[in-house]
Amino acid sequence: GIDAAGLHPSFRGHNHSPGFEVLPNGDLLLVIYTSYHEYEPGVSLIANRLRFGAEEWDFPSRFVDVVGVNDASPLLWTDDKAVHLFWGHPKMEAGAFPFQWISSNDSGASWSEIQYPKFVGPIGDHTKQPINSAFRDANGTIYVASDGSGGRSVLWASRDGGKTWYDTVGRSAGRHTTYAVLKDGSILGIGGKNSDIDGFMPQAISRDGGGTWEVSKSPFPPLGTNQRPTLIRLQSGRLFFAGDYVLHNDGSQPAGINQLGSYVALSEDEGKTWRFKKLIGAQLHEDIERAERMKGPTLGYSVARQAANGLIHLITTMNNPCLHFELNEAWILNDQTGERADKELMRSNARKFAM
């Protein structure tokens, strides 16, 4: 257990809502909250590093623990040579900001003091929980995704490199929405949970920097509690998306969807159409009753990033243990299907590493 491993007492059995990033030096960094219960004041953030070329992750370490409040919902973002960690204090009422962040210019060896956003203009309804998307648009505006209120999400934005921030005003059509900038400069937000259109996950497109959103039905099954999708732009120009086939809340699926478990998908046309592939090696929900309801594996809360060498890295939670997948576009585009044993999937076939 935790004590037998010699871990600090702040390490606890529930590890969830991951932030993940490929660092400028090629290492992978995972930041995740650890707790007994999600909203207790003892919730803290722990960090884990997979060094470039290594096959085993370093021992996890304590990272962020603001006294007396729950530190939750970490979001990691690499912006050129800088790495930023955004997170929230969801249950801190008086004086809490929508988010705060720390930054590193040496691939996470050292970090800045905590920085708090200075907002210009009013701030609308929101929940202090960053999601899994942060990015710049072609004009250099920074966007940080966070939960809105209810089944909606918001993009906080900065036009001056984080010196000041503003509420983009608009809200997406789902909680835990995951975002990417399209080639025409518009922003695509898909999902994330506790909302649907005709039984499918909603998607939304903004052509004015998050001010307004055009909402429509996506081809993806809806998600619920304990589920979060992930969307990123790949170096090839394709979009990558990952999610679950089954709604966690009641085990339902939309008409025409008969697969169980989890999937990854690629789009060649800016999200108009998608090529799905079942993700092999995914694991069941850590709770037996919930696993039975879903009838197959889950990604839980997912987050994906692509390394400079083209490998796509995908992190899952709500499994025992949380999982790290490495895959590439060639595998997704290959028509070969079928499960493979975990032992085979975990065996490294790498012969060389390239940056």
What pLDDT was estimated at residue 1? 75
Q: Is 297 among the domain residues?
A: yes
Q: Is 295 among the domain residues?
A: yes
Tens-place pLDDT, residues 200-225: 999 999 999 999 999 999 999 999 99
Tens-place pLDDT, residues 225-276: 999 999 999 999 999 999 999 999 999 999 999 999 999 999 999 999 999 9
Q: Is 76 among the domain residues?
A: no
Q: Is 343 among the domain residues?
A: no
- Which residues constitute the domain of residue 318? 219-335
What pLDDT was estimated at residue 93? 80
Percent of the chain with pLDDT over 90: 86
329 SS3 class:
helix
Task: Mention every residue, 6+ apart, whose C-beta is less than 8 A from residue 247.
Answer: 221, 222, 223, 224, 227, 253
Mean per-residue pLDDT, 20-27: 99
Sheet with 303-306, side-by-side order of all strands:
303-306, 312-315, 324-327
Torsion of CA 263, 247, 201, 45, to 10 degrees: -80
Count structural domains, the chain. 1
Distance CA 299, CA 317 (A): 6
Name the pTM for this structure.
Answer: 0.95
pLDDT higher than threshold 70 for residue 348: no
Where on the phi/psi map is residue 31: left (φ > 0), alpha (ψ -120 to 50), or beta?
Answer: beta
Tens-place pLDDT, residues 315-337: 999 998 999 999 999 999 998 87
Picking from 152, 128, 10, 35, the residue whose alpha carbon sits closest to that of residue 75 is 128
| 40, 300, 305, 308, 344 from 213: Cα distances, Å | 35, 26, 25, 32, 44
Q: Is 280 among the domain residues?
A: yes
Q: Is 188 among the domain residues?
A: no
User: Which DSSP state fits 228?
Assistant: B
Q: Is 103 among the domain residues?
A: no
pLDDT band for position 155 (50/70/90)?
Answer: very high
Identify whether the C-beta of residue 218 lies closer than 8 Å to the C-beta of residue 200.
yes
What pLDDT was estimated at residue 4? 86
21 SS3 class:
strand
Q: Is 185 among the domain residues?
A: no
pLDDT higher than threshold 80 for residue 168: yes
Tens-place pLDDT, residues 35-94: 998 888 899 999 999 999 999 999 999 999 999 999 999 999 999 999 999 999 998 887
How big is the chain, counted in residues?
A: 355
